[in-house]
Structure 1
């Protein structure tokens, strides 16, 4: 029989202590959000929401409050991403951009950087224009960066969101690896939800 003072048997931590002292599952600091400026095609909005879910965007903003886009009815978003990610509709997309976020306009323009050379900000809101036009001039004036994907022809909205969000993840991956390994090691020594 041993006592709690026995050094060979450390005191069992309470459920609260295990919860408070658990390792953070956050992969890195920062976040990304997606802004859709006056989208017109529900199919593309569904693809954009699915990309947001797959690539861990924290917020989706639908600007211009388009009619005909009903989130529960989007066939191209079978995951029902709006149940997992906040979706805000706003007549003025800029009003819904989180404080302290760098606004990045994804736009084919002469003064835009190419996506391959772009270093993604820690906290970014990526703005994508409508299928049949460009990002509004008012929003472009507020963009800290303008970025383009060099292609032979314009991409559809859903595909553009997927490419940009994947690029953000791919460029962050080398920095995330050491932290993920530390989290894996720490998690293997911690149990959650066990009965006392």
Structure 2
């Protein structure tokens, strides 16, 4: 069977997440917004009260020890979209989400690693005076994807 890359999917994860509570809130949003999978890079996920829907049991969850390990396992045909306050980032308000993509957020205190920014196919940010809680930022990106904006076809 030939894969024509017509099917749509997305995953979302955090690089070096600071707190398990942020992961739980993001996973709950990911499950509600239709994510295909969730993941962490660096710090491991620990079950805690914020993942009240038990998203980790409801959808595939992956953990990668390093960014390089994560990057070599990107799904075929998927674009890596880094969510980062950066002058090179496209505004979320006009961003056309790829049909097949993986969203990557960084920890609140350090953001994405330099390597993650360099390897991202696209960078996206939204209007905000200050950085937001990582779970809130990820939820906003997922909501924006779900409101029916046109998709970018790779």
TM-score (norm 2): 0.87
SS at match of 2:39: strand
Does residue 108 of structure 2 align to residue 131 of structure 1? yes
SS at match of 1:105: strand
Does residue 31 of structure 2 align to residue 53 of structure 1? yes
Does residue 77 of structure 2 align to residue 100 of structure 1? yes
- Asked if the contact 1:37–1:128 (Cα under 8 Å) also holds between the matched residues in 2, the reply is yes
Could you list the runs of 4 or more consecutive aligned residues of structure 1 that deviate by over 4 angstroms after TM superposition?
none
Higher helix share: 1
SS at match of 1:47: helix
2:146 to 151, 169, 177: 169
SS at match of 2:128: coil
- Counterpart-to-counterpart distance in 1, 2:73 and 2:60: 11
Q: Give the structure 2 partner of residue 41 of structure 1.
A: 19
- Asked if the contact 2:80–2:120 (Cα under 8 Å) also holds between the matched residues in 1, the reply is yes
Cα deviation, residue 101, structure 1 = 0.4
Cα deviation, residue 63, structure 1 = 0.3
Q: CA RMSD in A?
A: 1.7
Does residue 129 of structure 2 align to residue 152 of structure 1? yes
Cα deviation, residue 98, structure 1 = 1.2
SS at match of 1:171: coil
TM-score (norm 1): 0.69
Q: Give the structure 2 partner of residue 10 of structure 1.
A: none
1:31 to 9, 33, 40: 9
Q: What stretches of structure 1 of length at least 5 have no aligned partner?
A: 1-27, 176-196
Q: What stretches of structure 2 of length at least 5 have no aligned partner?
A: 1-5
Q: What count of residue pairs does the alignment treat as equivalent?
A: 143
- Asked if the contact 1:61–1:96 (Cα under 8 Å) also holds between the matched residues in 2, the reply is no
Cα deviation, residue 95, structure 1 = 3.1
